[in-house]
A = this chain, B = another copy of it.
Amino acid sequence: MRRRECEAWQLLQELLRAHRTFLPMLVAEYELSPAQWHVLQLIAPDEPLPMGELARDLACDASNVTGLVDRLEARRLVERRAAPHDRRVKVIALTRQGGALRARIAARLAEPPGPIARLSAFERRQLSAILRKALGS
């Protein structure tokens, strides 16, 4: 097995570990599980998504999506709608409440956490440039 130690990757993993509980704790304040938040996040306002696409994007079985959407719908955060062209399909849309909650949580997630806030503007620009290349965008 080749030795391919990479300090940058080690540190990145360390950062991930440090932030392991960050998202779960944040969304728990709104009584959402990480999976439920993921659903909310995937549905853009005014762009309902078929359940099958949700399952694909969540990388989970379709049967899970039924339960996730059940619980979100019970809280009136999303709603199932009939698709016009194919009556087997149900598209999931954000309700007004759902959209508002999604926006509120997204705003909080956009706040850079301690370790990032600690960087200078110059370092952040460097970091951005490197990450853009890493992500190939």
Question: Does A115 lie within 8 Å of B135, measured CB to CB?
Answer: yes
Residues of A within 8 A of B (CB): 1, 4-16, 18-21, 59, 107, 109-113, 115-116, 118-119, 123-128, 130-136
A4 vs B136: C-alpha distance in the bound complex, in angstroms?
Answer: 24
Question: Does B7 lie within 8 Å of A128, measured CB to CB?
Answer: yes
Question: Does A131 lie within 8 Å of B15, measured CB to CB?
Answer: yes
A27 CB to nearest B CB, Å = 14
A5 vs B124: C-alpha distance in the bound complex, in angstroms?
Answer: 12
Question: Does A11 lie within 8 Å of B132, measured CB to CB?
Answer: yes
Contacts of A15 in B (CB 8 A): 12, 131, 134-135
Known: A21-B59, A126-B126, A136-B118. A4 touches B112 (CB 8 A): yes
